């Protein structure tokens, strides 16, 4: 096995990760005088902001993913390889992957983040994260399976554990998951599960800090909390989950919540590669870069998006780990790579904050825009338009729009399927 990519007289740009930043960079290098190699462990780009809707049966997974080979099928001197990068050996301009080694002239690390379990192995094994489409589908299967089990369960305590859902992490994902489950409880359960009492389903949202949506304004946080409480979500602030034993979530005040569904969206940590000096890593394991996104001491190794730690006057603790940062960095880096080849001066990166959005439920969202703070229906409409515009592919946009319109007018979601893929036994 190997990359099977011939070395030419063109400089080779290797991009690790096809998220928002990596995808933007690869697209902007169309028609350039580079050989571009994109490496990702999946063969598709996914749209993380809508993973929670897949998890709650609101969208089909195919509507928020798009194959890389479809995106770049007309791009010359472009190669996609599905592989997992294991090590970056910058001294040799080389990466080691699951399919072999590959040399580069320029390397761009855009591999994003993974769920941070803060060293708790029990929670890592038993909790349900939601960073990938696969994890969203696992959460969907778990939720629906637990409802099915609850309908035939004769033990009241076990039935309650099946009906309780605990979400840990009060950021945008935690708020959105809580909201969509509250709507499922109100609109779906009475129709699909008439032999279960919706009032028996308890949704808990636990956040270790004093407020939800910590990166947003106090007004947005307060409005999100108010919306969720009106929807019946139990919000627990200033408490941390320290363990999960015997089907019970254990908080730092020794109180417990019984549940069979623990959703962990409490934080992220940067992806890690062997041979990158630990001294180059900063908060959350992020790679420290300069104003041009170059890794310290390496003018031909770059990091963009959530995996990099870059400061500027307005962001002394690093940029927020949001899609717009990655997109803007990918866009500028494409220009800077061309500048490097031409022997011209590089342009420093400056983040332009376009605003932050979070949806809570039907007609309920919060938005912090440049000079405007919105909440309720108007914020919800802005949220929908921004996300619909960002999804790749006209077909995918139409699929999402149709599902949203159908759900809005029918108060229903039509994709409540439990689909398990059986594992084949490996040949001995």
Encode pLDDT of 142-157 as tens digits. 999 999 999 999 999 9
State yes or no: pLDDT of 426 exceeds 60. Answer: no
Tokens (6 digits) for 347: 């342009």
Distance, CA of 209 to CA of 165 (rounded, Å): 20
Mean pLDDT of the chain: 93
In three state form, how does the secondary structure of the chain look?
CCCCCCCCCCEEEEEECCCHHHHHHHHHCCCCCEEEEEEECCCEEECHHHHHHHHCCCCCHHHCEEEHHHHCCCCCCEEEEECCEEEEEHHHCEEEECCEEEECCEEEECCCEEECCCCCHHHHHHCECCCCHHHHHHHHHHHHHHHHHHHHCCCHHHHHHHHCEEEECCCHHHHHHHHHHHHHHHHHHHHHCCCCCHHHCCEEEEECCCCCCCCCCHHHHHHHHHHHHHCCCEEEECCCEEEEECCEEEECCCCEEECCEEEECCCEEECCCECCCHHHECHHHCEEECCCCEECCCCCEEECHHHEECCECCECCCCCCCHHHHHHHHHHHHHHHHHHHCCCCCCCCCCCCCCEEEEEECCEEEEECCCCEEECHHHHHHHHHHHHHHCCCHHHHHHHHHHHHHHHHHCCCCCCCCCCCCCCCCCC
pLDDT in tens, 188-225: 899 999 999 999 999 999 999 999 999 999 999 999 99
pLDDT for 409: 80
State yes or no: pLDDT of 423 exceeds 80. Answer: no
Say yes or no: do domains 12-41+83-115+268-342 and 121-266 share a fold. Answer: yes
Confidence of residue 322 (pLDDT cuts 50, 70, 90): very high
State yes or no: pLDDT of 173 exceeds 50. Answer: yes
Q: Residues 261-270: what's their mean pLDDT?
A: 95
Query: What are phi and psi for residue 301, nearest 5 degrees?
Result: -120, 125
pLDDT for 105: 97
Where exactly are the structural domains of the chain?
Answer: 12-41+83-115+268-342, 121-266
State yes or no: pLDDT of 396 exceeds 80. Answer: yes
State yes or no: pLDDT of 229 exceeds 90. Answer: yes
Closest CA to 418 of 99, 64, 138: 138
Give percent of the chain with pLDDT exceeding 70: 97
Q: Residues 336-365: what's their mean pLDDT?
A: 94
pLDDT for 393: 85
Q: Under a CB-based contact definition with an 8 Å cutoff, are residues 296 and 281 in contact?
A: no
Q: Under a CB-based contact definition with an 8 Å cutoff, are residues 289 and 93 in contact?
A: no
Question: For domain 12-41+83-115+268-342, which architecture applies?
Answer: 3-Layer(bba) Sandwich (3.50)
pLDDT for 169: 96
pLDDT in tens, 31-80: 899 999 999 999 999 999 999 999 998 888 999 999 999 999 988 999 99
pLDDT in tens, 303-320: 999 999 999 999 999 999
Closest CA to 327 of 349, 343, 309: 349
Distance, CA of 31 to CA of 33 (rounded, Å): 7
Burial pattern 351-387, b for ≥16 Cβ within 10 A else e, equals: bebebbbbbbbbebbbbbeeeebbbeeebbebbbeeb
State yes or no: pLDDT of 11 exceeds 70. Answer: yes
Q: Under a CB-based contact definition with an 8 Å cutoff, are residues 352 and 329 in contact?
A: no
Question: For domain 121-266, which architecture applies?
Answer: 3-Layer(bba) Sandwich (3.50)
Look up tokens 């798009």; give the residue: 66
Give percent of the chain with pLDDT exceeding 90: 85
State yes or no: pLDDT of 344 exceeds 80. Answer: yes
Q: Under a CB-based contact definition with an 8 Å cutoff, are residues 304 and 333 in contact?
A: yes
Q: Residues 162-177: what's their mean pLDDT?
A: 97
Distance, CA of 45 to CA of 149 (rounded, Å): 34
Give the burial class of 120: count Cβ atoms within 10 A of its Cβ; 0-12 exposed, 13-18 middle, 19 or more buried.
Answer: middle
Q: Under a CB-based contact definition with an 8 Å cutoff, are residues 401 and 388 in contact?
A: yes
pLDDT in tens, 87-117: 999 999 999 999 999 999 999 999 999 999 9
pLDDT for 428: 44
Sign of the Cα torsion 212, 184, 401, 306 reads positive
pLDDT for 248: 96
């Amino acid at each position: 096995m190997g990359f099977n990519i011939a070395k030419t007289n063109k400089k080779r740009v290797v991009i690790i990760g096809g998220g928002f930043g990596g995808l933007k960079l690869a697209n902007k290098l169309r028609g350039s005088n580079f050989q571009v190699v994109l490496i990702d462990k999946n063969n598709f780009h996914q749209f993380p902001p809508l993973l929670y809707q897949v998890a709650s049966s609101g969208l089909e997974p195919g509507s928020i993913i798009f194959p890389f080979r479809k995106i770049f099928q007309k791009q010359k001197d472009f190669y996609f390889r599905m592989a997992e990068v294991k090590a970056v050996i910058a001294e040799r301009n080389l990466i080691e992957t699951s399919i072999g080694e590959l040399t580069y002239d320029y390397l761009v690390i855009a591999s994003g983040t993974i769920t941070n379990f803060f060293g708790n192995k029990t929670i890592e094994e038993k909790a349900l994260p939601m960073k990938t489409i696969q994890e969203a589908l696992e959460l969907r299967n778990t939720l629906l399976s637990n409802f099915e089990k609850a309908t035939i369960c004769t033990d009241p305590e076990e039935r309650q554990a099946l009906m309780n859902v605990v979400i840990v992490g009060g950021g945008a994902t935690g708020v959105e998951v809580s909201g969509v489950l509250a709507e499922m409880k109100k609109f779906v359960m009475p129709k699909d599960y008439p032999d279960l009492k919706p009032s028996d389903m308890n949704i808990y949202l636990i956040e270790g800090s004093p407020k939800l949506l910590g990166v947003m304004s106090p007004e947005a946080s307060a409005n999100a909390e108010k919306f969720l409480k009106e929807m019946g979500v139990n919000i627990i602030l200033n408490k941390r989950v320290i363990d999960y034993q015997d089907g019970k979530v254990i908080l730092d005040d020794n109180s417990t919540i019984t549940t069979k569904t623990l959703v962990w969206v409490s934080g992220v940590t940067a992806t890690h590669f062997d041979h990158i000096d630990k001294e180059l890593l900063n908060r959350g394991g992020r790679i420290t870069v300069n104003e041009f996104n170059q890794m310290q001491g390496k003018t031909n190794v770059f990091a963009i998006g959530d995996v990099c730690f870059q400061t500027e006057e307005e962001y002394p603790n690093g940029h927020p780990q949001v899609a717009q940062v990655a997109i803007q960095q990918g866009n500028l880096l494409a220009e800077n790579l061309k500048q490097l080849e031409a022997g011209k001066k590089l342009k420093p990166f400056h983040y332009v904050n376009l605003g932050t959005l979070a949806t809570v439920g039907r007609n309920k969202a919060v938005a912090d825009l440049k000079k405007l703070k919105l909440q309720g229906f108007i914020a919800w409409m802005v949220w929908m338009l921004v996300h619909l515009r960002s999804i790749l592919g006209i077909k995918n946009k139409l699929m999402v729009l149709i599902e949203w319109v159908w759900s809005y007018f029918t108060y229903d979601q039509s994709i409540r399927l439990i689909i398990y893929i059986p594992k084949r036994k490996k040949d001995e």
